[in-house]
Amino acid sequence: MERFTTEFDQTLRHAWHLFTEGREIPRHDVPETIHRSWSRSREYGLNESARILFDPVPRARLRELSERHRILLEHVQPDMTRLFDTLDSRDWVLAFIEAEGCVVASIGGEKPDMRDVVTALRPGVNLSEHIAGTSGPGCALAEGRPVVVSGGEHFFEAIRRFSCAAVPVMSPEGRVAGVLNGSRCHDGRPMGIVEPLMLAARSIENRMVQALPDTTLIRLHCNPAFVASPLAGVVALSEHGTVLGATSYARHLLGLESNAAVRIDEVLDTTHTAMLDTLRATDTPARFWRHNGVGLHVQLMRRDTPRMYPAGTSHPAAEAAGQRPCFDRQASRSVWQAERVYAQGLPVLINGETGTGKEVLARHLHESGPRRHGPFVAINCSAIPTELIESELFGYEPGAFTGASRHGKPGKFEQANGGTLFLDEIGDMPLALQARLLRVIQERTVTRLGGTRLLQLDCALLCATHRDLKRCVQQGEFREDLYYRINGLSVTLTPLRAREDFDALIDALLDELGGADGRLRLDSASRQRLRRHRWPGNIRELQQVLRLGAALTHDGVIRLEDLPLDLAEPASDPIEPGLTLQSAERAAIAQALVRNGGNVSATARELGVARATIYRKLQQFGLELPRDTCAEGSD
């Protein structure tokens, strides 16, 4: 039954009366949004006196909806719960409604007179305007803006006992992802929940943008005091500066349309690289200008997890433990496959130059796989004298050879039982031993040197090498049958000089070195210098350089003078005197391409230009990518 009690209700009743008679409603009697929604509801053929059942969709469909929106809900739930905790929980029902109008989560409504609200907002109920007429969720979805629908503003009489406020939540691409709604019984008092709903929606959007993998995050505001606050807009940029996601406030500040692929330098008066260099060199917000002259304060945003960050794929167990190492996008895909292959008990072969993280990856596979509770045993085949490899691997019985321990010793295979054996630098294993290794792997049993007892083995095998094993096979240095045995799947780690996420990796290592307060930074000149280095020792070498810088800096900013001498001096490739500007440019590009193994991204980064520029110059100068282009160069 309707309860028109206040002046507001009476004006509304009059307005409704005029609406049903098809007469004009005085302008200020009903908000425009409500009037439009009434008209749409009428066009859908709805009858305000009809009984509305609020039946949820069938269970199977609800399951499908929850599954489809699982990730979205993971972002929504924490803010919904937090907001609910600040309300008088007995009076309110909060709900999240997905873009097609179905409730996918709700909370609250303990009071007996809230039963109808709870029914209307239970998961599975469709509240789109074409079914439920004018209501907070339906109207906010249709209008794409926050709305309040109080008492008699609802289209259906049956729900005029309620009031609701609903605020859209935008996806990182700028589409409506759903609405956050708060409802309670209509009592004529102001709702007072719109602001809190908007803050929660902003926080959900922030979280969604921050979760975009393989991106650099910046936050911005027109007031520098708010840049580091939850009120700031957040933007996720690709390595080339394309906006891959942005919160609705960031879109508003930057004047971005939804779905448009825009580069940040098309909006701000700076280049993408220059902006990042400036931001990386400081902790405070820097000011950039939109092309229309509006100034914005911008700051680089560190991800919540300092060293480990998702790179396109995720393993919940390892990530929960903060153990996922940084892999670039290229390697990430193979890592994801390797996790699955390894979990099935198949061997994985890890290729990569020294220091690229082969052992880190092996440990990651072990720790995120089914054998994580067993031991992880590593042996570097190139670091042990040939005559000792056999006893190290297979163990020996007492007195098996001169100098052997009196008690005998279990080999690495035995030690790894129940877990993982990691054979590093397998390419350096002597041919004679390869035959024995193959037998052990095939038969899954081992006999210690000098013994006869057969020991059963139950360990997974991971192998790594910096050598091209296929070529070793062709040259007769590595057994073909062993090669296929250990190569269930092969993963190649990208050399540091060719990693697209070079800057992000530096930042992750700086965070790690900076400790809890994370106060370590590189100034822009030294960062440029690091980009130009060849990194023969890869991440291990980079770690060393940053460690040295961290030890030498007096204020947390690593400068050229804090870098090792060979790095601090620019490694210039001589460009002959007397060259024209054009030929100097040609030579610079050609040399940088060779230095970067043909990787266009790395070359562009080193030379401080866009990739498109490199491609254009290649064409202009008739240059070709080196034939021996490494895999990462296929960008």
Task: Collect all residues with Cβ–Cβ distance below 8 Å to 438 and sequence separation of at least 6.
Answer: 479, 481, 482, 485
Q: How far is the CB of 67 from ligand ATP (least distance, A)?
A: 32
Question: Which of these ranges, 216-224, 284-292, 358-366, 558-566, lies near ligand ATP under the rule CB under 6 A?
Answer: 358-366
For residues 16 and 327, which CB has a smaller minimum distance to ligand ATP in the complex? 327
For residues 380 and 528, which CB has a smaller minimum distance to ligand ATP in the complex? 380
User: For residues 329 and 311, is the Cβ–Cβ distance under 8 A?
Assistant: yes
Among residues 102, 98, 101, the alpha carbon closest in space to that of 76 is found at 98
Partner residues linked to 147 by β-bridges? 166
Query: Residue count at the site for ligand ATP (CB under 6 A)?
Result: 15
Q: How far is the CB of 422 from ligand ATP (least distance, A)?
A: 9
Does 352 contact ligand ATP by CB under 6 A?
yes
Question: Which of these ranges, 62-70, 150-158, 263-271, 354-362, lies near ligand ATP under the rule CB under 6 A?
Answer: 354-362
Q: How far is the CB of 556 from ligand ATP (least distance, A)?
A: 20
User: For residues 212 and 245, is the Cβ–Cβ distance under 8 A?
Assistant: yes
Does 306 contact ligand ATP by CB under 6 A?
no
Q: How far is the CB of 215 from ligand ATP (least distance, A)?
A: 17
Which amino acid appears at position 359 of this protein? Answer: E
> Please, which of residues 560-589 interact with ligand ATP by CB under 6 A?
none
Question: Which of these ranges, 138-146, 357-365, 522-530, 625-633, lies near ligand ATP under the rule CB under 6 A?
Answer: 357-365
Among residues 32, 278, 54, the alpha carbon closest in space to that of 159 is found at 54
Which amino acid appears at position 138 of this protein? Answer: G
Among residues 438, 491, 439, 442, the alpha carbon closest in space to that of 464 is found at 491
Q: How far is the CB of 493 from ligand ATP (least distance, A)?
A: 7
For residues 172 and 427, which CB has a smaller minimum distance to ligand ATP in the complex? 427
Exposure letters 329-345 (e unless 16+ CB within 10 A, then b): bbbbebbbebbebbeee
Does 108 contact ligand ATP by CB under 6 A?
no
C-alpha distances in Å from residue 453, one per residue of 395, 449, 450: 12, 10, 10
Exposure letters 166-201 (e unless 16+ CB within 10 A, then b): bbbbbbbbbebbbbbbbbbbbeeeebebbebbbbbb
Site string for ligand ATP, 159-198 (x = CB under 6 A): ----------------------------------------
Tell me the residue nearest to ligand ATP as measured from the CB.
357
For residues 174 and 495, which CB has a smaller minimum distance to ligand ATP in the complex? 495
> Please, which of residues 458-487 interact with ligand ATP by CB under 6 A?
466
Does 424 contact ligand ATP by CB under 6 A?
yes
Rounded to whole angstroms, the Cα distance separating 604 from 301 reads 24
Rounded to whole angstroms, the Cα distance separating 312 from 290 reads 31
For residues 357 and 597, which CB has a smaller minimum distance to ligand ATP in the complex? 357
Residue 22, judged by CB atoms within 10 A of its CB (0-12, 13-18, 19+), counts as exposed
Q: How far is the CB of 344 from ligand ATP (least distance, A)?
A: 23
> Please, which of residues 525-544 interact with ligand ATP by CB under 6 A?
539-540, 543
Rounded to whole angstroms, the Cα distance separating 434 from 428 reads 10
For residues 198 and 548, which CB has a smaller minimum distance to ligand ATP in the complex? 548
Does 325 contact ligand ATP by CB under 6 A?
yes
Structure tokens at 231: 């009120």
- Which residues bind to ligand ATP, rule: CB under 6 A? 325-326, 352, 354-360, 424, 466, 539-540, 543
